[in-house]
Structure 1
Amino acid sequence: MNKVIITTDSTADIPVDIAEKYNIRVAPLHVLYDDEDFTDGVDITPEYILKRYEEREQLPSTSAVTPEEYRQFFEGILNEGYTQIVHIAFCADMSSTYQNAVIAAGEFDQEIYVVDSRCLSVGMMLLCLRACELRDMGISAKHIAETLGDMTEKNIGGFLLSQLEFLHKGGRCSSISLLGANLLNIKPSIVVKDGAMSVAKKYRGKDEICRLKYMKDRIAEFDGQIDTSRIVLHTTCDLSEKEIKGYEKELKKLLECDEIIVSTAGCVITSHCGPGTFSLFFMLK
């Protein structure tokens, strides 16, 4: 039994089959509707969030895993016989998950290393998969954590939003910006860099055309620098399988890569970004 295990938060949006294949354990965040407290990916789904908004125009808030929940999470894993844990946490500048995990890790004598991913969503998954590869090479948890810390700047990702309504409802977008985007049919792209999100290029037109242009632009921006061993195509749950396969086909035309992972946004990304969200994540060489 390998004594090193990789763990992360539910914001990593790791498909179940990938988590099982690489033995990655996931600590779920909370999704809150007034006095209702749901556990991300356990008793609530992205589909439910979109349906509830459609029916009631009600959006949830989200909250971090608490120190006590992390303590129980780590304790359960250590009781299985693992002696070293590398936990890849949701960006410290966006959530208290990192700090809470650090607090919990400090209560154990065993080696638990908490890494600030400096990103979110499947950017975290890319770091997890790299960590698993290092683990399977026999690398120690300490060295894995140090290596990941050096890799965070090479983690490239962002989102193309179909609408701004969810950001507006969540207080992250002004009414004027919402009105302008709706009138002009603008689809803003959000980049994640240095632990922060900011608006980059703005697209205009139908979703399909904007998404194809977005993929072309992102690949062209990092031409010759992309690690083509693994690319993640990430969408919200409302896109059909046919649509996703079409984008995957177009991505293969744009870039020769060894593996394309298709991932669906979990409850946290869905509740903040809304339906129609589309993204591309990769690492640089």
Structure 2
Amino acid sequence: MDTEERQTERDRSSGSPDGTEEGSRSARSSRRLRSSRRLPGLRALPGLPGSAGPAGPSWRRAGLLGLACAVFALLLSSFVVQPFLIPSGSMRPTLQVGDRVLVNKLAYRFGTAPERGDVVVFDGTGSFVQEPPEENPVTGLLHGAAAALGLAAPAETDFVKRVVGVGGDRVVCCDKGGRVEVNGRAVDERYLYAGDAPSSVPFDIVVPQGTLWVMGDHRSNSRDSRDHLGDPGGGMVPLDKVIGRADWIGWPLGRWAVLEPTGAFREVRSPRGAATPEDAGTTGTAGDTGAVGGAHG
């Protein structure tokens, strides 16, 4: 009888409601938990059962942080540097399909203007595209935001080309060696796609002041100023339509590079007088109707 009473006392002292070893462990855990709650230093430990502090940032906080980052990225893209997805091969080999170039929007903001050889991104509305395609406003807004972050293809009115002539320049193709001439100087365009001729379409134009004559590096696969000689504006891109200068390839990482200035136009000199299209004629032999097939970029 005494033996039974002593056994019962031992069971009760173990803190187990049923007297089993499993119950004993549960009771000890409960006591440790109650003890930890009495210690202020342990209350804020993340992941501790019963702690008052959250295990990490709340969903609301994370959402606000993500929204702030997105707004900052859009502001940066709108005013400083914009990622631009290359949608076609018209600038090969300089730019490949799928490259994300970083467009410097400050390059021409402080009194400077595009120079011959610059790779520029511009809005072709009124020069390359006479009537922008209609689209759903909501879809257009979402696509515009994605394009501004380099996550989607650019708008159909945005293009990337190389500046070959600036205001006042006379650009002719081709000389006896098959090269483009700017102000009487032959240009050695080493950046052209291998096997491409400088142009399969002859032209002789004078670039009006305040505009640019632009061409793709993959001449046989580029719809550029040559294709719009007969359109309003004559294929010239107004300076105020230039979005910025492509200065870097930012993605993919294996393609990261700085787009260095070309030396192809080093020997070209600007004409002394500001020539006008009426002085030298805006079109040449077959430039009005010649079209070069391929995708634009």
TM-score by length of 2: 0.22
The structure that is helix-richer by fraction is: 1
The structure with more radius of gyration: 2
TM-score by length of 1: 0.22
